[in-house]
Amino acid sequence: MANVGFIGLGNMGMPMGGRLVDAGHRVRCYDTSAAALERAAARGLLPGSDVCSAVQEADFVISMLPSGSDVLAVFGERTDGRTLPLREGCVVIDCSTIDVNSCAAFHHSVALRNLLTLDAPVSGGVEGAAKGTLTFMVGGSQAAFDAALPVLEAMGKKIVHAGAAGAGQIAKICNNMIAGISMIAVSEALTLGQRLGLDAKKLFEISSASSGQCWALTSYAPVPGLVPAAPSNRDYQGGFASELMLKDLRLAEQAAIGSGTPALLGAAAAALYGMHCKTGKGRLDFSSIVQMLNEGERK
């Protein structure tokens, strides 16, 4: 069993840390929220008084933070002048979903100290975190991947080594860009079909076995009555929030700008989710985008 330092106890970090406790690890943790630290203690984690105390004895340091600047505030050059007290041999795993530039800076910063690093963003949501069924998309050296695998397996079901440093983030945003675009595509097609008198079930049946087949339709249809488990059947509660899809689409758009990739549909999807979230639907599942096409005609 290992000593783990866990930083960031939000909706995802808390249950991920809990899974590590369940697996028998000794998990010191830190979050800027005192309430989160209390909940963590109740879940069997050991709250540190600050981020340094949480990581100083750790074999593995794991972070799950909202943004690249949060990650760099912990692992990059610190404004308080202190150096994060990481042990020799410690493996540092950032599970946050962040922009590719910050991710590169994270690897660079920690690698300067001769420590192994991984970017390992996840998919699977809060439920996957609680059940330990997350998918990890992992970027970093083979040595780092091998070292971290047992710890990651305590939190996830599928651990994919996507490539060198950064590859985890890239894989995640590329995948989610496809997911976001195809969700809008499916929403447009289902709406168009319905307006023209085509039964949604028929389009579902036909496209599920044809060139229009995609996860957004077949496994997660945005209109009710097609896929029983889909959030569309429960008023778009739960699932993967529109505001999280928007975050990932923006990360993809930034990466496209940075790399000179003219990803028009990706950028359009980001803008459409941006408008959708502005109407107050950011916390609804991302399949609720279908409502933009369907709102009350005249108010």
172 as an active site residue: the answer is: yes
| Residue whose token pair is 């943790």 | 29
Taking CB under 8 A as the criterion, the residue among 56, 185, 224, 233 binding a copy of itself is 185
Say if residue 102 is exposed, middle or buried (CB neighbours under 10 Å; 0-12, 13-18, 19+). Answer: buried
Taking CB under 8 A as the criterion, the residue among 176, 232, 242, 288 binding a copy of itself is 176
Residue 163, SS3 per DSSP: strand
How far apart CA 56 and CA 266 sit, in angstroms, is 41
Q: C-beta of 297: minimal distance to a copy of itself in Å?
A: 6
* Beta carbon nearer to a copy of itself, 19 or 161: 161
- 33 makes contact with a copy of itself (CB under 8 A): no
Q: C-beta of 89: minimal distance to a copy of itself in Å?
A: 28
CB distance 23 to 79 below 8 Å: no
Structure-derived torsion over alpha carbons of residues 181, 184, 186, 189, reported in degrees to the nearest 10: -130
- 260 makes contact with a copy of itself (CB under 8 A): yes
| Residue whose token pair is 């990650």 | 71
Taking CB under 8 A as the criterion, the residue among 22, 212, 224, 233 binding a copy of itself is 212
| Residue whose token pair is 């984690």 | 45
* Beta carbon nearer to a copy of itself, 5 or 193: 193
Catalytic residue among 158, 172, 247, 278: 172
Q: C-beta of 277: minimal distance to a copy of itself in Å?
A: 8
CB distance 135 to 158 below 8 Å: yes
For the segment 102-131, give every residue that binds a copy of itself (CB under 8 A).
123
Residue 228, SS3 per DSSP: coil
Q: Catalytic residue numbers?
A: 172
